[in-house]
Amino acid sequence: MSPSGARGASAPRKAGKAPGRARVWATRAPLLPALIFLIAVTQLPFVATVVVSFFDWNSLSPDDRAFSAFSNYGEVFSDPSLRESVFTTVLLTASVVIVSVVLGLLLALLLDREFIGRGFVRTLLITPFLLVPVSAALLWKHVLYNPEYGLLNGAWAWFTGLFGVDSPGQPDWISEMPLAAVAAALVWQWTPFMMLILLAGLQSRSAEQMEAARLDGANAWQMFCHLTLPHLRRYLELGVLLGSIYIVQNFDAVFTITAGGLGTANLPYTIYQTFYQAHEYGLASAAGVVVVIGTIVVATFALRVVSSLFREEAGRA
């Protein structure tokens, strides 16, 4: 799409020489509603959060509101439970992203070939991603993890029963391994997302290049390491970064499965609790600002990856 083409598109509407500034604004006008709306609804609240973060403000004692400079930030970094939730967030995000990318890659490789019912299998595989997150979390909590009649223990009892074992181990998953329980549910939801992106990557490989390598006598493993993996690199990066951005913000699974208990409270949940239940407005805001700073670090990389893919696309057009 060349600039001259774009200018040409508006040519019939102009009689004679239109003043340059008016034309520029005519081009900008369609953009403005969306821009103004977005700035008002997303940027202004954040500015307000930054302001509130400098105040000592508990809504239960509104008269004590006072400017407190950086003391909320000091508390964010010194409060052990907040620090723990930072650690939990990092651990949860990293483990879910890594495991779901690896599983997603395996599933994508499996689906990247013709077989009978491929479309149906793909539909089966993306179903977990399409469940409403709350219902997926409820499903894991009550239907799968329940220690007495959950599917996991039930299937295990049935399986060991085949071998005549009377009382197989029946762990209480959520209380014995809370963070892993939350992570497993999230991995189940996010693996299809990774699979979809990586499958798109696999299908954009050049067929000629693959065929040439095959004719040159490369085996499947060599082709995977030297052709497929380098080609997939950007798609892997994109999956990791988009996945991180969504999973760092996860609230539904933590809220539903453990209600933040047993050391599973991540930052979004902790902030929600700090302001919604503890009414510590200033502290919650400071924690929110810290999350944003952390996210900006990740997002800078994310934007770079997306922008390289995007520019490639724009260059091709």
Rounded least distance, CB 263 to another protein, Å: 19
Segment interacting with another protein, rule: CB under 8 A, options 61-69, 92-100, 171-179, 276-284: 276-284
- C-beta of 69 vs 135, nearer to another protein: 135
Rounded least distance, CB 80 to another protein, Å: 20
Helix (H, G, I), strand (E, B) or coil at 117: coil
Phi, psi (degrees; rounded to nearest 5) at 27: -75, -35
Residues 6+ apart with CB under 8 A from 293: none
Q: Which of 49, 91, 172, 218 binds another protein (CB under 8 A)?
A: 49
Question: If we measure between CA atoms, which residue out of 107, 133, 58 comes closest to residue 285?
Answer: 58
Rounded least distance, CB 158 to another protein, Å: 4
**Is residue 307 within the footprint of another protein (CB under 8 A)?**
yes
Q: Which of 191, 228, 258, 264 binds another protein (CB under 8 A)?
A: 191
Segment interacting with another protein, rule: CB under 8 A, options 63-71, 92-100, 107-115, 171-179: 107-115
In this structure, what token pair is assigned to residue 314?
């724009």
Rounded least distance, CB 114 to another protein, Å: 6
Question: If we measure between CA atoms, which residue out of 256, 106, 85, 242 comes closest to residue 181?
Answer: 256
**Is residue 176 within the footprint of another protein (CB under 8 A)?**
no
Residues 6+ apart with CB under 8 A from 213: 222, 223, 226, 227
Is-contact 266 250, C-beta < 8 A?
A: yes
Angle 178-203/118-130 helices, nearest 10 degrees?
Answer: 140
In 3-state terms the chain splits into helix, strand, coil percentages (rounded to 5) of 75, 0, 20
**Is residue 306 within the footprint of another protein (CB under 8 A)?**
yes
Q: Which of 64, 78, 167, 276 binds another protein (CB under 8 A)?
A: 276
CA–centroid distance for 310 within its chain: 19
**Regarding beta strands 55-56 and 66-67, do their DSSP bridges make them parallel or antiparallel, or are they unpaired?**
antiparallel
**Is residue 77 within the footprint of another protein (CB under 8 A)?**
no
Q: Which of 31, 80, 166, 217 binds another protein (CB under 8 A)?
A: 31
Q: Which of 86, 105, 182, 238 binds another protein (CB under 8 A)?
A: 238
**Is residue 45 within the footprint of another protein (CB under 8 A)?**
yes
Which residues from 131-150 bind another protein, rule CB under 8 A?
A: 131-135, 138-140, 142-144, 148-150
